[in-house]
Amino acid sequence: MARSEMMRLLAAESPSLLASVEQGLLALERGEEMAGAVQSALRAVHTIFSGAALASCGPMEELAGGMEIVLRLAAAGELQPRQHHTDALLQAADVLAAMFSRLDELAHVETGGARRALEAALGAELPGEDLGRLKPQPLEGAQAPGAAWRVCPWLLEQKLSQEGLFSLSLPSRVGDSPTALYTRLGELLTLGEVLACAGLDSGELVLLYASPLEPGQLGEALSLTGEQLRPMGPAELGLTKAALPVDKPKEEPPLEAEEGAAPAPTAPAAPAPPERGSEPELPAPSQAPPRQYLVFGLGPEVYGVDIELAREIVTLPPITALPLSPEHVLGVMNLRGSVVPVFDLRCRLGLPPDPGIEPVIILLRLEGKLQGLAVDKVRDVIALPEDLVQEAPEMAGSLRRDYLRGLVEHGEEMIILLELERLLALEPVDHAA
């Protein structure tokens, strides 16, 4: 009864969700900016998929899941959307609308034609062996008691390489209350993505869930502890070595700035070769090869991080706060459909807030995960020889020395190079007395 009422709550939201899907797909047909159109449709479809999964509505979950795979492939750049893709997606959206309008007669709504159209649209572009990786398959060896999860192997590979995977157990008191379940759905979609859901005889719901947050952060945000939240790696998912994704060299996009944000700095140009017949200028024998750093300002100080960690610079977007999170965790932001945690570097360094500053977000990839860092302003990219970097003394400021990579003089400024993996960890920062 609770799950059928949960579907009615989802149905009440369905007009706006399906409108987002249709608008995104029509924008795609008109040749408008692809990333925005795909992500708009994907977010709405994923909400429908997740709600149907939590409500154990198999036919709707299966159809929305098929739509989601087509959109995810397009978002990942592995599929160039064409007319037959948008036609199949619009046909599936029409069937979803019919299902929402006939919740008491779901068994009589024909979904097979729409599912076959989605499969045919993919089959026109992808070889047969790839199609097999796009169909949900049971995770028979998963170490989550009673959780009969079915997941698309391609999606599982994507999430294993990009985010943390978790087994989440929602107690029966949540599963038995449609309002509590629908509220929990909103929380889940804010912090990550539902990949699969299984109902147990006890009334519990066990989810396979992807989130960029650390286990401690996620547990506090969702009020889950102990066995209710378990990290799931390849071993816990029962994946053999042969089934694991193969790491392939991946070209990262160049550092870029969002429209309206501070322009992305560019690396210094290499020196021109000497003219024929002239004496080349030889570097000093002790000079180490230069390393590039992204330099930014925070209060009166200048800081730097390895440019290889930086991915993008954006203006401060809407932030969703996480309950019970450390003070330096601003919350999470939505970046083109992905949930990204955002850290307040001012707070982390013990600096007071400055209401007059309009922060920018540096998006960095740390330990394989995308994370945002709020700073006052981005200044430049500079190349620094490694032998100029000095070890930070114990009294180099308010931070512990192991949070610093070192100090380096550049012109008339002293640049503080940070060890972000240690600095952004969840334990409190030691500030000097």
CATH number, position 366: 2.40.50.180
13 and 111 belong to one structural domain: yes
Residues 85, 44, single domain; the answer is yes
Q: Note whether residue 148 is domain-resident.
A: yes
Which pLDDT does position 172 carry in this prediction? Answer: 67
Where does a domain end: 135, 165, 189? 135
Q: pLDDT tens digits for 257-294?
A: 554 454 555 555 555 555 545 554 544 544 556 788 88
Q: Is the pTM of this model over 0.85?
A: no
Distance CA 319, CA 300 (A): 26
CATH of the domain at 81: 1.20.120.160
Q: What is the mean pLDDT of residues 176-192?
A: 82
In single-letter form, the type of residue at position 181 comes to L
Render pLDDT for 317-364 as a digit per residue (tens, 0 to 9): 888 888 777 788 888 888 776 788 899 988 888 888 888 888 889 888
Q: Give the pLDDT of residue 33.
A: 65
Q: Which of the listed residues 135, 155, 187 is the one where a domain comes to its end?
A: 135
Distance from C-alpha of 364 to C-alpha of 361, rounded to nearest angstrom: 9
Task: Answer yes or no: do 178 and 206 share one domain.
Answer: yes
Q: What is the CATH number of the domain that holds 239?
A: 3.30.70
Confidence of residue 93 (pLDDT cuts 50, 70, 90): very high
HSE-CB at 14 with a 13 A cutoff on CA atoms is 25
pLDDT tens sequence across 193-235: 999 998 766 677 889 999 888 888 788 888 887 778 999 888 8
Does the pLDDT of residue 66 top 90, yes or no?
yes
Domain that holds residue 206: 138-245
Segment 18-24 mean pLDDT: 91
Of the three residues 114, 135, 156, the one that is the final residue of a domain is 135
Q: Verify that 186 and 210 share a domain, yes or no.
A: yes
Overall number of domains in the chain: 3
Do 261 and 218 share a structural domain? no
Residues 299 and 386 in one domain: yes
- 114 inside domain: yes
Provide mean pLDDT across the span 23-36: 79
The torsion of the CA quartet 128, 111, 103, 172, rounded to 10 degrees, works out to -20
Residues 326 and 399 in one domain: yes
Same domain (yes/no): 208, 338: no
Of 100 and 393, which is predicted with more confidence? Answer: 100
Q: Is residue 428 part of a domain?
A: no
